[in-house]
Amino acid sequence: MRLRLALLLVLSALSQTIFAAVVQATLPNGIAVTADFRAGLAGKPTVILIHGFLQTREQATVATLSGSLADEGYTVLTPTLSLGVPNRDHSLSCDAIHNHSMDTDVAEIRFWVDWLKKRGSRQITLAGHSVGALQALIYAGTSWDPAVNQLELISLSDPSSGMLSGARRDKIRQEVAQRLKAGETGIQTLPMSFCTRYTASTPAYWSYIRWTRDDLIKRIQTSPIKVSIILGGKDNLVNASWIRQLKTTKAHVYVEKDANHFFEGSSEFDLLDVTNTLLQTKP
């Protein structure tokens, strides 16, 4: 039965990919950007899906969920954040010189929300995977639009996990904060997310590294809209203490015990089931 369901979903995703429209737009700063757009049924919510760090909309977790939701009749927009590169169509390497920041990422999310509103969307769920989940959460606390009535944060990682953890993270954050205070804006190479060597200016690097557990918890608690968090029980970037802390917030926390960070294999169906439930429930 599950094998048959998997086959049907794969065929459906392929069909949706064929008929998905690639839309092009120009940001206020002049950078050209693209997104996959799938128009759904009238009366159903719209979903924006934001990919993870340095990735594109082709990243498997986001691409699979996008196709499956479109098959369920939802309008789905899956942009590729520019990261400062016009019409970006490939993932950026850690070793590249990165001229984007959390602020520019969030500004692009705001741009795509406005793009959808101009086309009639009034019930928008903003979903993000991994760092995309963090970006969605920050968007809700800085430039929220009432048309966005729900956040779905998939694999929202513990900021203290990955290449930067514990005392090492605290030491680097302190050093970068001191450089920023001193007015330094030069390029530096330091660990970031899954990158052992990440090259960016001091302000751009700080825009990502500044976020702590306490910051995220506060953002969740003060979010003007409903927050749902979907985690994998086998995600090595999500430990038990992080899950416990998230469960103390007002967010609805779902833990799929067999899922990893990317909800691969049969866990993709669990992610779709939870997302369907959220979209069918009044925020």
75-79 and 32-38 beta bridge pairing: antiparallel
Q: Are residues 40 and 168 in the same domain?
A: no
Contact criterion met (CB below 8 Å) for 39 and 75: yes
The reply to whether 116 falls in a domain is: yes
**What's 34's domain CATH number?**
3.40.50.1820
Q: Are residues 188 and 262 in the same domain?
A: no
Q: Which domain range does residue 151 map to?
A: 2-52+65-81+99-159+214-280
Q: Are residues 251 and 261 in the same domain?
A: yes
Q: Which of 210, 237, 271 is the last residue of a domain?
A: 210
The reply to whether 172 falls in a domain is: yes
Give me the pLDDT at residue 167, please.
74
Q: Are residues 168 and 270 in the same domain?
A: no
The reply to whether 59 falls in a domain is: no
The reply to whether 93 falls in a domain is: no
The reply to whether 128 falls in a domain is: yes
Q: Are residues 72 and 10 in the same domain?
A: yes
User: Coil, helix or strand for 127?
Assistant: strand
- The DSSP element (H or E) to which 228 belongs, if any, is strand 226-232
The total number of structural domains that make up the chain? 2
Q: Are residues 69 and 183 in the same domain?
A: no
For the record, the structure tokens of 197 come out as 């060597």
Give me the pLDDT at residue 164, please.
64
Amino acid type, 209: I
Query: How many C-beta neighbours within 10 Å does residue 43 have?
Result: 7
Beta strands in 61-181 (DSSP E): 75-79, 97-98, 124-129, 148-154
Q: Are residues 140 and 227 in the same domain?
A: yes
Q: Are residues 167 and 269 in the same domain?
A: no
Q: Which of 150, 182, 210 is the last residue of a domain?
A: 210
pTM beyond 0.85: yes
Q: Are residues 152 and 167 in the same domain?
A: no
Per-residue confidence in pLDDT tens, the chain, 283 aa:
444 444 444 444 444 444 679 999 999 999 999 999 999 999 999 999 999 999 999 999 999 999 999 999 999 999 999 999 999 999 999 989 999 999 999 999 999 999 999 999 999 999 999 999 999 999 999 888 999 999 999 999 988 776 566 677 888 989 999 999 999 999 989 988 888 899 999 999 999 999 999 999 999 999 999 999 999 999 988 989 999 999 999 999 999 999 999 999 999 999 999 999 999 987 7
Q: Are residues 70 and 189 in the same domain?
A: no
Q: Are residues 170 and 40 in the same domain?
A: no
Find residue 35's DSSP bridge partners: 23, 79
Q: Are residues 77 and 180 in the same domain?
A: no
The reply to whether 86 falls in a domain is: no
Query: What is the C-alpha to C-alpha distance for residues 205 and 173, in angstroms, rounded to an integer?
Result: 10
